[in-house]
A and B are shown apart, each in its own frame.
Chain A
Amino acid sequence: MRNSNTPDHIISKDEWCEYYNNVSASIDRDDYFALMMNNAWNLDGSMDVNKK
């Protein structure tokens, strides 16, 4: 919501965090937020289908 409107094709850490601030605002529970992040970015590596 608060990121600048001119795309520069580079995502800075601040832009990334701001995006997730907005996502975070709509999720009540911490454990659900963690689950969502893990599903989206496969942080624990459990869904690595390419590496068998």
Chain B
Amino acid sequence: MDTLYNLYDKDGSGTLDYREFASEVFQREVAGTPAKGRASGEDLIQRLRDKLKSRGARGIIGLAKQFRIMDDNHSLSLDKFEFSKAMSDYMLGFSEGEIQTLFGYMDYDRSGLIEYDEFLRMIRGPMNANRKKIVLQAFAKMDKDGSGMLDMNDIRGVYTADKHPDVLAGKKTE
């Protein structure tokens, strides 16, 4: 039982989130191919990132432009058809199964569409170490009691509402 659970709980978080569950079940049932030798979503997306980069789509504006090109019906989201067409246009050499895997990987909310937000967030990936440091620094500044959680008391310490228009007008109190 534990072994099975750990197999599903890929990030080792001790909880099965929907994504972990769905990706495991979905891959096994639909594709039916063994996981061995299969490129993971992260590998595939890295290849897509490199490809977009080589096409000069470096910044946000470049990525947005590529997205608009892929988005044939201008719906601000990519359906499976638009996505697999774009992947063959890019000549990445992905198999049909790999395109399905990548689509499922990028469609984080499992809506069946890759929204622009999802696309951008996926292609950009997580913050680099430098940015992460700054973000944690800001968190630590507010988290006065070092609990790893921010609650109302932490916010009260750093946020002043005394310049809010409603407070100045006497409509609300701090």
**Interface of A with B (CB < 8 Å)?**
1-2, 9-13, 16-17, 20-22, 24-28, 30, 33-34, 37-38, 40-41, 43, 50
Which partner residue on chain B sits nearest A50 by CB separation?
B160
| Cα distance, A24 to B58, chains bound together (Å) | 15
For A34, list chain B residues within 8 Å (CB).
Answer: 130-131, 134
In the complex the two chains form, what is the Cα distance from A17 to B127 in whole Å?
9
Contact B124 A17 (CB under 8 A): no
Known: A22-B121, A24-B127, A28-B59. Is A17-B132 also a contact (CB below 8 A)?
yes
Q: Provided the pairs A34-B134, A37-B134 are in contact, do residues A11 and B149 lie with their beta carbons within 8 angstroms? A: yes
- Point out the residues of chain B lying under 8 angstroms from A10, CB to CB: 149-151
Query: How many Cβ-Cβ contacts under 8 Å join chain A to chain B?
Result: 70
A28 to chain B, nearest CB (A): 4
Contact B160 A1 (CB under 8 A): no
Q: Is B148 an interface residue (CB 8 A)?
A: yes
Query: Interface of chain B, helix or strand or loop or mixed?
Result: helix
B107 contacts the other chain (Cβ, under 8 Å)? Answer: no
Q: Give me the interface of B with A, judged by CB distance under 8 Å.
A: 58-60, 108, 117-118, 120-121, 124, 126-128, 130-132, 134-139, 141-142, 148-152, 160
Q: Tell me whether A41 and B121 are in contact (CB under 8 A).
A: no
Say yes or no: B126 contacts A21, CB within 8 Å: yes
| 23 A-B pairs whose Cβ atoms sit less than 8 Å apart in the complex | A1-B108, A1-B118, A10-B149, A10-B150, A12-B149, A13-B139, A16-B139, A17-B127, A17-B132, A20-B131, A20-B135, A21-B127, A22-B121, A24-B124, A24-B127, A28-B59, A28-B60, A30-B131, A33-B131, A38-B134, A40-B138, A43-B138, A50-B160
B163 to chain A, nearest CB (A): 10
Q: When the two chains form their complex, are residues A9 and B149 in contact, meaning their CB atoms are under 8 A apart?
A: no
